[in-house]
Amino acid sequence: MALQALSVGEFLELVNHTLKQIPSNEVIIEGEVSDYRVAQGKWVSFDLKDEEAEAVLKCFMTTWQLKAPIEDGMRVQLKGYPKIYERFGTFKMNVTEVSAVGEGALRQSYELLKKKLQSEGLFDQTRKRALPRFPERIGLVTSRDAAAYGDFLQILNNRWGGVRVMHAHVHVQGREAVADIVGAFRYFNDLPESERPDALVLTRGGGGLEDLHAFNDEAVARAVYASQIPVVCAVGHERDESLADFVADVRASTPSNAAERIVPSRQDVLYEIGTLTDHMESRLHDTLQEHGFLVERMTNVIGFILERQKERLARVQDGILTRVEGWLPRLREHLEGSERFLRQIDPKRVLARGYSLVLSGGSVVRDATVLEVGGEITVQFAAGSADARVSRIHGKGQQKLV
Amino acid sequence: MTAKKKELNFSEAFKELEEITSWFDSEEQLDLDAGLKKFERGLELAEDLKKKLAEVENKVEEIKEKFSQ
């Protein structure tokens, strides 16, 4: 029977078809990474080596399929499908998933991712947001089966009340954990602003690197980073750390500590309210006292002013008196002089010397011509007077006084 | 005083109390009338806050949503 010849292409197609019979999804291959390279920031290639069998598997994948960073010497497990590239005749493993194995490799992977996120600024202190002092709604992202859930709520209830805890039940380990946690963050952040929690708490108990893988996952770290709601992260015991811790706004050491960080304690707040009211009261009391002092001082000042005014009045009075005393004798002298003068010109003194005064109709007569014969005149003497009648008038012209 | 009998917002009430208290520190010479009014309001707030602290407990509600996918 003559065999039919296949072209190279047809043959390789047959081989590739045969390779597809391998149930790739159920096969996990483990080995050590070497010759790890990234080309054009997109294409990842490395050799997966088997130390004992000296076997090498050429691997190929894209950077976005690479969830956790790997490097040479790291032990990894991977899934993928094998294929022969017709153009180059090379056999390669198209890797779909790769993850580090063993504590050492996980540690290595963790450190690599930590360095990467750090250099991107995901841990920057400057972007840490403050938590609201009295949160009303808290989004709790943890498993309801975890001890962390009970611990958190117990401390929360001990310390504070009136909070609505919106619990998103997620797996905190295992294969679904990452998608659950990322989904919960998306859920809370997608809520309308009025329904959004004031803060999110992402927590679980402690564990090894393998248990904490979801909290060290890049997607979770980025979800925490992207959250518009401030995040408190608390993983396990005091000394456990996770990448989510570093990205979170507040890193709490334990689930209980997360509750302490997120709500104040009743006692502290009661004490503070007491301090505030006491302070108001004492300031008000001081003010009242100040007002009292002020009134007292005002009274004193007014008294003082009155006293001074009284003194001034007395001084003015004294001044007036001394001045009056100065000019009073002079006034008296002047008055006496005037009196003397007046006395000298007194007509009565002329009469006393023997002269008489003739009056007609009440007026002094200075000229004889104003008189009429038969008219009545009064002659005034120094003592007494006499009425008389004019019998003759002697000529005009001035009488020559002898 | 307007009788706002809606749910007391704890952080708003606490903030108001803090503001009133700091008002008492803000000026050398306090206006006695304003001071008395503010003091009265402050005591009222403190009372409300204390009452709220005493009475409430936390409510936990489960979110029904499935988060994976």
* Separation in Å, CA of A214 to nearest CA in chain B: 13
Of A165, A269, A280, the CB nearest to B42: A280
Question: Which residues in B lie closer than 8 A to residue A161 (C-beta atoms)?
Answer: 53, 55-58
Pairwise CB contact (< 8 Å): A134 & B57: no
Taking only the tens place, the pLDDT of each residue in B19-63 is: 998 888 887 777 888 888 888 999 999 999 988 888 778 899 998
Question: Which residues in A lie closer than 8 A to residue B50 (C-beta atoms)?
Answer: 270, 273
Question: Which residues in B lie closer than 8 A to residue A169 (C-beta atoms)?
Answer: 62-63
Distance CA A303, CA A371 (A): 81
A198 touches chain B (CB under 8 A): no
Distance CA A167, CA A139 (A): 6
Question: Which residues in A lie closer than 8 A to residue B64 (C-beta atoms)?
Answer: none
Question: Which residues in A lie closer than 8 A to residue B29 (C-beta atoms)?
Answer: 290
A321 touches chain B (CB under 8 A): no
Task: Give the CA radius of gyration of chain A.
Answer: 63
Mutate to test the interface with A, among B24, B29, B40 (most CBs of A within 10 A): B24
CB A204, CB A235: distance < 8 Å: yes
A284 touches chain B (CB under 8 A): yes
Question: Which residues in B lie closer than 8 A to residue A154 (C-beta atoms)?
Answer: none
* Separation in Å, CA of A276 to nearest CA in chain B: 6
Mean pLDDT of chain A: 88
CB A398, CB A383: distance < 8 Å: no
A199 touches chain B (CB under 8 A): no
Q: What is the pLDDT of residue A402?
A: 46
Pairwise CB contact (< 8 Å): B59 & A165: yes
Q: What is the pLDDT of residue A397?
A: 54
Q: What is the ipTM of this complex?
A: 0.81
Of B14, B30, B59, the CB nearest to A287: B30
The set of residues, in sequence order, having a beta carbon less than 8 Å from that of A33 and lying 6+ positions away, is A46, A47, A48, A49, A70, A71, A72, A73, A74, A75, A76
* Separation in Å, CA of B48 to nearest CA in chain A: 11
The set of residues, in sequence order, having a beta carbon less than 8 Å from that of A157 and lying 6+ positions away, is B57, B58
Question: Which residues in B lie closer than 8 A to residue A281 (C-beta atoms)?
Answer: 39
Residues in chain A where the model's pLDDT stays below 70: 1, 238-239, 395-402
Question: Which residues in A lie closer than 8 A to residue B55 (C-beta atoms)?
Answer: 161
Mutate to test the interface with B, among A280, A286, A290 (most CBs of B within 10 A): A280
Q: What is the pLDDT of residue A103?
A: 76
- C-beta atoms surrounding B20 within 10 Å: 22
Which residue pairs from A261-264 have beta carbons closer than 8 angstroms and sit at least 24 positions apart in sequence?
A261/A131, A261/A232, A262/A131, A262/A135, A262/A138, A262/A156, A262/A199, A262/A201, A262/A232, A263/A134, A263/A135, A263/A156, A263/A159, A263/A160, A263/A163, A264/A133, A264/A134, A264/A159, A264/A160
CB pairs under 8 A between A and B: 113
Q: What is the pLDDT of residue A396?
A: 60
Q: What is the pLDDT of residue A101?
A: 84
Distance CA A279, CA B19 (A): 12
Q: What is the pLDDT of residue B4?
A: 44
- How deeply is B6 buried, as exposed, middle or buried, from its count of CB atoms within 10 A (0-12, 13-18, 19+)? exposed
| Whole-structure pTM value | 0.62
Pairwise CB contact (< 8 Å): B49 & A161: no
Q: What is the pLDDT of residue B69?
A: 54
